[in-house]
Structure 1
């Protein structure tokens, strides 16, 4: 049975959510700034494409590509096609044997790749929000995925911040919902990138 027919986690749903934003980005919006400092919308997509390629490299025990320096170069001339190629290649690599492969997970030891992909919901969900806000698209984030992402953030967020992968946490407004609290924990200021139709 392949991973894509097994759905205990939100990984595949999070991929679908992210792709739904990618396909909606206007052609002239890929150069717009994103909530990720110094990254354009294209850089942001390149970063997530790099994440798919990193998973493939981890399965093969190879050095993953560097998606931190000018990640927009991974997007090429057709952002949607580049994303879909990377996603399809990653999906093809997720054999039952690969999903059972122990993968180093920061300071937490090793996890089977299957479990590591559960944590990747955080990456996909937050960057779907980032890309939507950068390009003026509405996006509705599945509350269940938000909850899963929030749980992951609480486990790994402090380590990521120490490694310089996250900015300082912000204080969410009183009574804020789980998504706003998650974004604030990750250093995102919703008011700096209001949803289309909201006051800036």
Structure 2
């Protein structure tokens, strides 16, 4: 069954908001699995990514798409030390200025705005990412589903919550990694494929045998 990336992004970000609404203020200072960020700083990074989407839609559309969702996660300057330092600082500033509960409220507002804007775009809309890639909006949204999925997992781990992955996001991300033939639980695949869990020797062999994609990730 084909999954609409926008529906998957809406589902995953909506679940993220609901999971974080009742987190007590002190818990936001917990370390995240993405050091040196705290849970609040990691959420600040997530919010920044959502807020950026309407600005992309306001910009002129490139003539044609040049990169797909998997190609977006390639090893170049977007994952360099300097770019990563900017991400770290941005997340820390957001946490210091707003705090976790306020960032949850900002995420709720930002996702509604971004999703509404995306739904009004015509089929075949091409956008330019902050890294300069010309992509179909649908392909770019696949990258946003991965961002929401992996950082939702990170926040669940940091805050001691039960991890989740909504069914639309799970189907989309298993497809992105080419992992359907493995038959693994989507959360297990996501943890191993993103380096959040070490594969067992058997799992490593399965990944190689089935040609599961290796995507370059920053934070």
Q: Same fold (TM over 0.5)?
A: yes
Give the alignment's Cα RMSD to 1 decimal. Answer: 3.3
Structure 2 Cα separation of the partners of residues 189 and 140 of structure 1: 16
* TM score, norm. by length of structure 2: 0.61
Alignment of 1:47-58 (within 5 A): 47-58=45-56
Structure 2 Cα separation of the partners of residues 74 and 91 of structure 1: 22
TM-aligned CA distance change 1:108 to 1:178, over 3 Å: farther
Structure 1 Cα separation of the partners of residues 193 and 27 of structure 2: 27
Greater share of helix? 2
Structure 2 Cα separation of the partners of residues 94 and 178 of structure 1: 26
* Higher deviation after alignment, 114-123 or 138-147: 138-147
**Larger RCO: 1 or 2 (CA < 8 Å, sep 6+):** 2
Residue equivalent to 1:71 = 91
Q: Give 1:8's match in structure 2, choosing from 4, 8, 28.
A: 4
Structure 2 Cα separation of the partners of residues 152 and 52 of structure 1: 20
Deviation of the 1:19 alpha carbon: 1.1
Structure 1 Cα separation of the partners of residues 124 and 148 of structure 2: 22
Gapped regions of structure 2 (runs ≥ 5): 61-85, 199-219
**1:183 and 2:203 correspond:** no
Structure 2 Cα separation of the partners of residues 96 and 103 of structure 1: 14
| Contact 2:152–2:164 (Cα < 8 Å) also in 1 | no
Structure 1 Cα separation of the partners of residues 9 and 21 of structure 2: 19
| Contact 2:11–2:168 (Cα < 8 Å) also in 1 | no
Q: Give 2:35's match in structure 1, choosing from 26, 34, 37.
A: 37
Residues 49-84 of structure 1, C-alpha deviations (whole Å, 9 max, x = no match): 01112212211239xxx6542314335142322222
Gapped regions of structure 1 (runs ≥ 5): 1-6, 156-174, 191-200
Structure 2 Cα separation of the partners of residues 18 and 118 of structure 1: 16
Residue equivalent to 1:145 = 169
